[in-house]
Structure 1
Amino acid sequence: MASQIRTEEKSVPFFILPFSAECATSLEVLRRNHIDALELIKGEEELASYCYTASTCCLHFSQFRSIVTGANRTELLNALRAEPFCCSKTDDVMKLNSEPESNGPTPLSFLFSGAGAEFFQMGLELYQTCPSYRSHFDDINSQLMDLDGIDLLRWLRDGEEIALYSLISIFALEYSLLQLWADWGVRPTLCVVGHSFGELAAAVAVGGLSLPTAARLVVSLRQSVLRNVKPGRMLMVLVDEETTRALLNSFSQHTIQKFANFLASNYITKATVIPGVFHPYHSRYMIPAPTELLVDLEKLEYSRRHAGVKYISSVYGKPMEASENLVASYWFQGLHKPAQFIGSANSAVTVGGRLFLELSPQPILTGLMKKNCPEANFICIPSLRKNISNWRTIIEAVAALYLHRIEVDWAKIWNNLNDNTNKRVCIKPVPHLLPKYSLPN
């Protein structure tokens, strides 16, 4: 029986107010109308009804859009009154009151991080307060329980250190975020990029893995690694590949002292042992595991990927051809071959990636994308951040997507935000600013 985590079936104290118009003048009139209306509102229930009505009952034009988010009426009013008008403090994602290059939505790509992104109680706030997220997390957790007795709630709730639980939790969280975004009407339209363990959720996103197959793959991976691979660690060094290769004093033997001396002599201080990772993934030391693992993986049923959304492989560092599928041999290679994320990042930009949504515990890949593609013009939006409210981050992500003409299901978003969403109120409309005509006698 799975562990229990206290949940809260009540309204989330967070609000989102989108508005749009066909011209800048009308948008400004709407802003002033919202300020006047919010100044008269008393209480969170009335505020929620007002924002719910604006979200679900008003037309959403593509030409000019703005949006404000906040935990209370004061935050919403401060954002609406800001000069120049600004709807959020989220970095690098808000472009307001500007006419878009086109009226259509920006092509959207998804990023999925791997080892090193996990931390204690990641996504716990969403699990406790978001029914849709909790339902999807429980789906994957129940399958893992049935297959191998893996109860991720023990790690999520108590931080209990159980072999590979932190890495498996990354997949569970990313899968749950993927399904939550889908519930809200948000899906990748251009490409998906998964790094290391993040490739599992990326494969689900394009139909290459079903949930039952992904769960069995995760269990087979865990069992094989625990039986066949000696413990080890992974080190993140922020230098290029050529310099990293020079860190290794030979192909057969490595000494800690020489490694440390090399770091010191070359002034490389940004070297970090990746937390929560206790096996040397993506290295030849994993080879004992794949031999047995391949036999198990070949017993699984794999699906053809959906057409239209590119799958950019971090095993190959490039997009996979439409004829290539994510079968046993692919996952076999991914365990012991280096992750080619630099190639993946460049490929994502090359195929036209300009808007990325990262589905991970914290925006690890956002920084790597910016570092490896410094000349490219793109925006990365985090779904979650460490040490920041889950709801604040994900609602600001909704706001950023809205500004880039990504259509969302507002009713379903409010079903998760507020338990009293069927109340609608009157919102003052904007008069149509029609040109004057001279009518003949």
Structure 2
Amino acid sequence: MSDALINSLAAAVEARPDDLTLRLHLAEMLVTAGRGAEAIGHAAQILAREPGDSAAQQLMARALGGPAPGGPAVGDAAGGSPAEGGTAPGAAQVVQPQGSEKPEEPPAGSESPAPPTEKPAKGVDWAALEEQFGDVVPPRFARADGEPDPVSGHADRTFDVERSTVTLADVGGMDEVKKRLEVSFLGPLRNPKLRSLFGKSLRGGLLLYGPPGCGKTFLARAVAGEMGASFISLSITDVLNMWIGSSERNLHDLFESARGHAPCVLFLDEIDALGHKRSQLQSSMRTVVNQLLTELDGVDGGNDGVFVLAATNAPWDVDPALRRPGRLDRTVLVLPPDAKARAAILEYHLRGRPVAGIDLTAVAAATEHHSGADLAHLCETAAEYAMRDSIATGEVRMINQADMLAAAREVRPSTDAWFATARNVAMFANESGAYDDLAAYLKKRRIR
């Protein structure tokens, strides 16, 4: 089978992913070419949409190395059942040329080959195959509503373990944040001998806080990519459950998955919702916060190699016990991007768009205090201006500097509302000095 033909057909499938007939043809060619592992994924996608497709079921069985469901038995293919003179399933078949004599019987007393002891395969063991290829082949039957999931010892069935492809070099600005990360975790990870000499542990946590849309989640992924570590992201919806005890179990499963994939960056988004001050919670939610504290301490399992990054827009709502030494003991303010970072963000979001004559430095100067999300919306607004004119005139034109500056006047920074709230905290609730960096920034911006 020509690889060029298979590659050409694969490109056609990629261009038309919903063409199941074309995908089935590609899978058949892959199986014929001895590339069953590649065919499994295509057959699985067909069965996910058409569970009763018999051709896809037979192809899946062939790709997995078993007989096709509903296909002829081995004895039938050999010319009948053993009782009718056919070859028994699993037995070796010897084809005699015409005119040849029957092979001599072994002499009496000599040892003959032992018959096979394995039972003939009557079909495909779908349950075993589902367990073996569970990450590729979808389950044959869905569970009914309300039926509990089986409890397993590993949480990969619930939490996605990723490998991040971005690094800190892809993060614009945030120099102070990068320095803190280098000292607290990245540096000790790269220098195991020095880490052992100074007794530095790889366990720890960092709380990122600041206005929304400033790249806290992206920074967490970059840390995982910089370390070459696994990355698990968690939100409150992944944990909370209406049944008593289920939320605590979900939280424990999450940390067990992170420990099993160490080194691992565990990212807890919106930590103020999951770890809210217990004095303001009902008893059912207090136990969830208590479970989070237990997992951060690593009482039931060591947390070495598990680096916890948490993000919040409201650090003043986080339970103080979460921020004590040994847990989320380092706090870093993630501010809106500076001028250099804003130019880089604008350039990124203008890639793939028709642009001409845009002065990124001038646009960056006109977008002070804008978050990364604001800048992305600004580029989208400028594209709408150019597209509107192109529709009205019938002539396509590029996105120009006037579009960008007009969009900058329309899209106001979303961070102003957050700093208005943060100002009260920095002025009246900073006895411990936890928000000194925020107070310094507000003073620099002259927000009083």
TM-score range, shorter chain: under 0.3
Considering fraction of residues, name the structure with more helix: 2
Give the alignment's TM-score, normalised by structure 1. Answer: 0.24
Higher-RCO chain (CA-CA 8 Å, sequence separation at least 6): 1
Larger radius of gyration: 2
Give the alignment's TM-score, normalised by structure 2. Answer: 0.24
